[in-house]
Chain A
């Protein structure tokens, strides 16, 4: 299995608070992704990174920011959490563009 660790696994927070989710990989893969999974929508791309300090927006990036200061770590921040951001968040890594993704185990986030 690919070495991907997401933390925390579960998080409950209040509307308006900032939240940071962490993804850590041990595979030295160049590409890292954050997806959210919601019923009826499947997985939707939030942001991705193609190298240290190189990031770009995905399909549903509003309300989220990311940072990648080291190859192995990719952080997702909700600046001011809203109830619509209640979801399961998955981190994924990819060795080269257009290859399969390896996913972490996910973070269940509830915004009350």
Chain B
């Protein structure tokens, strides 16, 4: 029962261009959404989050968009840099529930 889905296993973009990573969810009770970034041989690290009362959250080069009616969120990275090359996980949770659900991840490669 994969409640959070990342349908693109990989994405390759040129340095300086925009990277768009997508995530879909099925549980309409989710009210908190997060993106994590993971480098090889390291644990995931928090990148950015958004509450269900918002539709956009921005932090420097990273912006997360939430479309509740479509149960879809996306992460935009502008401009993309080679150091952004990593696996990105989308995650979602319900307030008060400790079971945060993760997508399968998207491997982003930014080419110089």
Contact = CB atoms under 8 A, between A and B. Distances in A.
Chain A interface size range: 20 to 34
Contacts of A45: 99-100
Interface residues of B, number: 27
A97 B96 CA distance: 6
Given A42-B103, A42-B104, A100-B34, A48 B98 contact: yes
Between B32, B42, B97, B102, the greatest number of chain A beta carbons within 10 A of the residue's beta carbon is seen for B102
Between B46, B100, B102, the greatest number of chain A beta carbons within 10 A of the residue's beta carbon is seen for B100
A104 B91 CA distance: 17
Interface string A92-109: 101001101111111000
B63 to A, nearest CB: 17
Contact of B98 (A97, A102, A104): A97
Interface in A38-90: 39-45, 48, 50, 56, 58-59, 90
Contacts of B100: 45, 101
A100 B46 contact: yes
Interface of B: 2, 4, 6, 32, 34, 36, 41-46, 49, 89, 91, 93, 95-105
